[in-house]
Amino acid sequence: MAKQGLLFAAIAAPTCLVAYWLGTVLSGARTPDDTTSKGTATPQVIAGLSIDPVALDLGEVWEAKDVRWAIPIANRSAASIEILDFAVSCGCCMSIEPRRVTIPPGQSAQVSLKFDLTHRLGREVGLPRRQLEVELTPLIRNVDTHRAGWVVRGLIKSRVTLDTLLVHFGDSPVHGQAPVTRKALITAHVPLQRPEASVNPALATATILPHPDGEKQYDILITPNPARRPGPFDSDVAIFMHDDDGERCHVATLPIAGNMQPEIRPLPARLFLPSGPVGSSTEATVVLQAPADAKVIVEKIEAESPDVMVMPVEMEGTPSGRAFRVIQRIHKEGDQASVVRFTVRREGGQSSTVPTELFFHGEPK
C-alpha cells in the first residue's frame, strides 16, 4: 500500500506543475487591475505609452469645482511619440494641459487634469459618496485611436448634498412684479457651521434657513431679482460652510435658470395655429398680459410676414385693447414659422417690443 501511495505522488506532482504552467500561459495579458507576484499593479501600455496605475488613482477626494491632478506618461518605445490630443469620457474633466505633446523615447511627460467634481448625473442626486471614473484616451499620430484609454478612478465625498441638480423658474418671474421664490433641500454629512449662500445680487438672492424636520438639513430659498431686465437668465448659487477653525469652505454649487418675462407680455408667447391646406387661412387669439390696474397702450404691431393680419377683438374677462386675433394665410406646404411684434408701453412708462412666435403647418390642397 505504501508503494502505491508513493507511485501516485510521483505521478501527481508533475501533473499539477503542468496544469499550473498551462493555466499561466492560457490566462493571457494582464489588465490594469492585475497585480504582479509582488502585489503591484501592472501599467497599461497604449501604443508604447504607459502610466503607473498609482497615478490613475485619486483615492478619496472632497467634492470641489477645481480639483487638479498630475499624471506622468512614459514612452517605453524606441521612437518619439506625438500625442495630438486627448479624448475624455466625462464632462467633469474641464481641462487637460498640455493637450498636445511629443515624448522622446525612454522619457516622460506630465499632463495636468482639472476636474469639476460638483458635476452630477441624475441618478447621483443626494449621494454623499460616489465613484469617479474618467477614461483618458491619447490621440496619437499615425496610430489607430479606436482603443481603450487609461481610466482615472476615485471616490468623491460630499460635505453636503442637494435634492436637485437645478432650480428652474421657467417663465414665472415677471419684471417689476411680485418676486417668485423656489427652494431646495440641503443635507449636511459633516458638522456644518454657519452655512452661507452667494449669488450675483443683480440676478437673484439666496438665503439658507434650518429645515423644520431635520437637524442636519437646511432649506435654501432662491428668488430672482424682479428688477432684472426681461430675458433668459442663468447663474450658480455657491454654498459655503465654516469648519471648526472658522475657515470658510465652498461645499456645493446649485445652478439656477429661468426667463424673466416683461411686465407686458403676450400669452401665449408661442402661438401654435391649426393646420390647413395651402391657400386657406388659420387663426388664433393672443392676449397681452399686464398688471390688472395697468393701462396698456399698443403703439405698433409689426408682422414679419405679409401673409399675417392682426386685429383687435373683445374677449370676456380681458380689458379692452388687450386681445388680438392673428390670421395667417398658408402659402406653402410643410412646417412654417413667423413672428408678430407688439410695441407696447404702460401709461407713463417706456416703450418695449414683445414678440409672439407663430407656428403652423401647410397641408396639400
Q: Average pLDDT per run of 10 along the chain, which is 365 residues long?
A: 39 38 33 38 84 93 90 94 89 84 94 89 90 91 80 93 94 90 93 88 94 87 94 93 82 93 88 94 93 85 94 90 94 94 87 91 92
| Torsion angle of the four alpha carbons 160, 161, 165, 169, in this order, in degrees rounded to the nearest 10 | -70
Radius of gyration, CA atoms only, the chain: 33
Cell triple for 15: 501533473
Contact (Cβ atoms closer than 8 angstroms) between residue 159 and residue 195: no
Architecture of domain 44-156: Sandwich (2.60)
Rounded Cα gap, residues 22 and 17, in angstroms: 9
Contact (Cβ atoms closer than 8 angstroms) between residue 113 and residue 96: yes
**Looking at the DSSP assignment, which residues form a beta bridge with residue 82?**
102
Phi then psi dihedrals of residue 122, to 5 deg: -60, -35
Architecture of domain 161-260: Sandwich (2.60)
Cell triple for 318: 380681458
- Give the residue from 292, 296, 324, 319 showing the smallest Cα distance to 308: 324
- Give the residue from 290, 280, 273, 277 showing the smallest Cα distance to 339: 273
Collapsed DSSP state (helix, strand, coil) of residue 56: helix
Q: Where exactly does CATH 2.60.40.10 map onto the chain?
A: 44-156, 161-260, 265-363
Q: What is the pLDDT of residue 295?
A: 87
Q: What is the pTM of this model?
A: 0.68
Q: What is the pLDDT of residue 145?
A: 64
Contact (Cβ atoms closer than 8 angstroms) between residue 103 and residue 49: yes
Rounded Cα gap, residues 210 and 221, in angstroms: 11
Map grid coordinates 430675458 to a residue: 231
Instruction: Write the CB contacts of 152 (distance below 8 Å, at least 6 apart in sequence).
Output: 56, 57, 58, 69, 71, 113, 132, 133, 134, 135, 136
CA angle, 101 as apex, 99 and 104 as ends, to 5°? Answer: 160
Collapsed DSSP state (helix, strand, coil) of residue 311: strand
| Torsion angle of the four alpha carbons 81, 82, 88, 93, in this order, in degrees rounded to the nearest 10 | 110
**Would residue 38 be called left, alpha or beta, if left means φ above 0 and alpha means ψ between -120 and 50 degrees?**
alpha
Query: Domain 265-363 has what CATH class?
Result: mainly beta
* Beta carbons within 10 angstroms of residue 163's beta carbon: 12
- DSSP H or E stretch at residue 16: helix 2-26
For the chain, first and last CA: distance in Å? 104
